[in-house]
Amino acid sequence: MSVLVLNAGSSSLKFQVIDTDTEASLHSGVFEELGVSPDSMSIDAAITAALESLPAGLNVTAVGHRVVHGGEQFVDPTMLQEDVLTQLDGLFFLAPLHNPANLAGIRAAMHALPEIPHVAVFDTAFHHTLPPAASTLALPEELRRQRGIRKYGFHGTSHRYVSGVASDLLGGDPHTHRVITLHLGNGSSATAIRGGQSMDTSMSFTPTAGLVMGTRPGDVDPAVVTFLLEHGGYSAAEIHAVLNSDSGLKGLTGSSDFREITRRARSGDEDAVLAMDIWSWRIRHYIGAYAALLGGLDALVFTGGIGENSAEGRALSVLGLEFMGVSIDSYLNSRPNSKTRTISPSSSPVSVFVIPTQEELEIARQTAALVSSPR
């Protein structure tokens, strides 16, 4: 089956065609700066251009769409029909930045390719197995029950994919595997996985929570928000901008680019050194917490732009964790390599893997599985 995977973001469209029998990528591309000014490309035009860019003879048999938020109702890949689109419209309030863009892409693609099945694959879905103790926020009942305020978690497609690869590498009975996956990129999250099921994850009601990210702070005392509203002269929109665009590594150093921050830290820039300390301190905090929740650890996985590429980022993330069996071999860690690899010493009780994430492949697999045997 040739699955076209579409990821329609707020200003970009990424696309890739994957042969799900061989898992080969047959074609891919990206359109950026969509809809940012009156004369920039619309999502409909980008979808048309993406389809026109397909090599002659490449026939797409299904489309898999990345959708950020599935709310409480969408926990599996879902065949897209009009009633599902209406339900997705109703979830905009949960992901006001992402879901409308995802849905605009879905509508444009369904219009352009009306004869073939379209499937939504949700970023939140992998985390539907969170136990109530992890997913329930300690808030009054009205907020929890009537407003849908709970931990949903994100990056699920990535965490699912890399934890599956980690389980294959570990061998033995996958139901017993205790794995922590670290998706470290511009957006970052950690997930605790037992037997292939997500047990806890660091992003929460929104992708703002958890680890320190490129432009988001991760965990902060929620009373900072009320303080800014009451005493700081900030509007809700300004606080939103602070928490999504101006914080994290950017707030600490002026740059969200981990490569640049690493370079600056190497040359002694104090802000950059402190930012990397804060960034990795939070990661170690989550590794310790999640190993405790899982009752031990078999594997730690690095993925995402930083996790896959930054030897320094990985080394800082496991600093001082030898006491819990987590260590990395500095030669294996620093050798340039873009493939899946083990970076822990062979004698190590906990395997540390670097696994390049393949969200498009995971979406294509799930799309093909649903199209071949619809539920």
Stretch that binds ligand AMP, among 31-39, 144-152, 227-235, 300-308 (CB under 6 A): 300-308
Judge whether 375 and 350 are in contact, CB under 8 Å.
no
Asked whether position 305 contacts ligand AMP by CB under 6 A, the answer is: yes
Asked whether position 102 contacts ligand AMP by CB under 6 A, the answer is: no
Q: What value does the CA radius of gyration of the chain take, rounded to a whole number of Å?
A: 21
Q: Residue 225 and residue 241: Cα distance in Å, rounded?
A: 12
Stretch that binds ligand AMP, among 44-52, 86-94, 125-133, 255-263 (CB under 6 A): 255-263
- Angle (CA) 262 268 269, round 5°: 75
Backbone angles phi, psi at 70, to 5 degrees: -105, 5
Beta carbon nearer to ligand AMP, 78 or 317: 317
Record the tokens describing residue 354, joined without a space: 């670097």
Beta carbon nearer to ligand AMP, 37 or 338: 338
Closest CB to ligand AMP belongs to which residue?
Answer: 305
The catalytic residue positions are 123
Record the tokens describing residue 143, joined without a space: 């907020």
- In angstroms, give the least distance from the CB of 316 to ligand AMP: 12
H/E run at residue 14: strand 13-19
Count of residues binding ligand AMP (CB under 6 A)?
A: 12
Q: Residue 243 and residue 250: Cα distance in Å, rounded?
A: 11
- Angle (CA) 269 275 281, round 5°: 135
Stretch that binds ligand AMP, among 38-46, 69-77, 253-261, 284-292 (CB under 6 A): 253-261
Beta carbon nearer to ligand AMP, 68 or 306: 306
Judge whether 156 and 196 are in contact, CB under 8 Å.
no
Beta carbon nearer to ligand AMP, 17 or 311: 311
Q: Residue 84 and residue 102: Cα distance in Å, rounded?
A: 13
Q: What residues contact residue 11 under an 8 Å CB cut-off, 6+ apart? A: 32, 33, 34, 35, 36, 101
Asked whether position 356 contacts ligand AMP by CB under 6 A, the answer is: no
Q: How is 96-109 classified by DSSP, letter by letter?
A: TTTHHHHHHHHHHH
Beta carbon nearer to ligand AMP, 298 or 359: 359
> Taking CB under 6 A as the criterion, which residues in 176-205 touch ligand AMP?
185-186
Asked whether position 310 contacts ligand AMP by CB under 6 A, the answer is: yes
Stretch that binds ligand AMP, among 160-168, 171-179, 301-309, 348-356 (CB under 6 A): 301-309
Beta carbon nearer to ligand AMP, 210 or 304: 304
Quick one: which of 287, 61, 100 has its CA closest to 193? 287
Q: Residue 197 and residue 215: Cα distance in Å, rounded?
A: 29
From candidates 31, 258, 279, 290, binder to ligand AMP by CB under 6 A: 258
H/E run at residue 184: strand 178-184
Beta carbon nearer to ligand AMP, 46 or 306: 306
Stretch that binds ligand AMP, among 30-38, 163-171, 257-265, 325-333 (CB under 6 A): 257-265
Asked whether position 257 contacts ligand AMP by CB under 6 A, the answer is: yes
Longest Cα separation, the chain: 63
- In angstroms, give the least distance from the CB of 283 to ligand AMP: 14
- In angstroms, give the least distance from the CB of 101 to ligand AMP: 17
Amino acid at site 75: V
> Taking CB under 6 A as the criterion, which residues in 118-177 touch ligand AMP?
none
Residues that bind ligand AMP (CB under 6 A): 185-186, 214, 257-259, 262, 304-306, 309-310
